[in-house]
Structure 1
Amino acid sequence: MAAHDAWALICRLFAGGTPVLRATLSSREASVLSVLGKAVKPTVVDQSFVLCPHCQQHRAQVWGDGRGGRMCRCPDCGPVAVEANDGAALTLDEDWLRQKMRLALGIESRDGIDDLGDGVWRLGDARRSPVLLARDLARVLHEPALLDRVRVGSGDIRVITPKPSTPRGSPFGAGVEWMALEDRFTFYGGGITLIGAPPSATPVVIDPATPVNGPFSTDFRWATLPDVQTTPIQFTDGQSRVLGALWSFKGEATTAERIMQRAGLDSAKPSDLFKIKAKDKGKPGPAAQHAAYGALVVTQQRAGLYAMPCAAAGKEVAMT
């Protein structure tokens, strides 16, 4: 069971791509840190904001208490003392992951690892089949040129990614094999082992834009708003964090400060992320993002409050 929990934590850290506070780990995740060895390592994160040590629900700004200690002010708990270990964080050693994945797949050591950018790597060739490791399946689905860059003749390509939240069939056509990181590999003996395919595996089709949270996809990167655009609207990482933060308040009118703290961003107000820059004027993507924000968010300018009415009946999501 420890190996299963250890691998689940590795996959979560890889999919996230950012350090996590030790305080946010579940008891099962914390219990396997000693098993993981070199797979994870301590790291330094911005100490100007911490997750509230009391409720662990809100990110709050830290300041000195004038007596050598530190405090934060949680919107729910009020002033809370911050200890040194409240900012302790860890991260996945992704070089370790990529090297162990190469060993598990039998990739020859003479093949180097190519960083293709934005969370995609070519690990090398396994039995003459190029292998891509990606942090997000949607990244590969929406940029098929990545496959063309590594394709060798008519040979097959293997794409390895964490499982998305809404599997709906085979994501690729013939010649591309998708391998779910969580299902096809596991942590064993300090390394990574390839697991054989299930005898009657059923292909799954993935549509990352499928509405899960009201009009939003599970990661708030997409919104389906037929009145704004006939096709799903894709958002940037910052925009998706703002929308997820607004959704988490379940329709309650909230100050810009609380929203941006929960989103983990430094902008003054949510609308900053949706302004159309001069260089983007006339482009359909930024215009659709701006229109979507206007359709989804109600602003009380005099009071400085923001609300997302469609989230009133939604389920609160945890922001990381």
Structure 2
Amino acid sequence: MKTRILGRTGYEISEIGFGAWQIGGSWGDVSEADGKKALNAALDAGVTFVDTADVYGDGRSERIIADVLKSRGGTRPTVATKAGRRLNPHVSEGYNAGNLEAFVDRSLKNLEVDTLDLVQLHCPPTEVYYRPDVFEALDGLKIKGKIRHYGVSVEKVEEALKAIEYPGVATVQIIYNIFRQRPHDLFLQEAAKKNVGVIVRVPLASGLLTGKLSAQTVFAKEDHRNFNRNGEAFDVGETFAGVPFEAALAAVEELKPLVPQNGSMVQFALRWILEQKAVSVVIPGARNEAQAHINAGAGDIAALSAATLAKIAELYERSIKPHVHQKW
């Protein structure tokens, strides 16, 4: 497993991480046992970065991670969590020192640690990025020793660019994949200039870029690909990267012939992201051991050729960009 440095945190982490949303909830029925097996498989394959959030299964994801790491012992991976989405209503005013400390305290308990490696604001309202007091509150939690570093998880490139104006923001988590290429235009370059770690989520566009979905695929009632198809529960960009399902399926068919013979569609999609040196880590999720193994192998396939990258860029411009580029 190849490693990269997570921006100014200085953490040396695996370039393929483990996104722990799926083992928490909102992806259909994933048992705790399967979640633990998936995480163990990823760690066995050399993954040293795990990303979770306090709202994934109302803390279930954090608790599963704590149990697995406790049972394994040895060198502990870097664990990042997120805070803020427990607010109800989820409004800017809720991002204050008292609430943030309470959320951090809960994650400390769930993860069974004294200090969080990295805490990220969890896709807060855009207004939050224009409030210095929020970031001062996070600085205060660092001084108290409750967090080592902090960052943000964003929906929009605008939010990412604003966030990295704050000197304490060490990382930005952002959606970036073959179907969401806007971060490449400006943000990745600016993050690199400021030595900000970039954590890439939704790398497979909610499963679209596995090549295994079809118009006949049925999603469970509790799967966000069912209940958030049109943004009913949270930002629609989190589900299928915001691309209309039918348009995305057609684009996937055009991508399939580009997949190298020694790799899978999943690994091809992850490899495309890793071509960007400004990316610190990509965090695909996994429901089981097999998926975790496939994800971890993405770094082993050869770099994509210039011709392949050009074909992907042309497909994006023609078939995907009109649906998503201007929105996020």
The TM-score, its normalising length taken from structure 2, stands at: 0.31
Q: Larger Cα Rg: Structure 1 or Structure 2?
A: 1
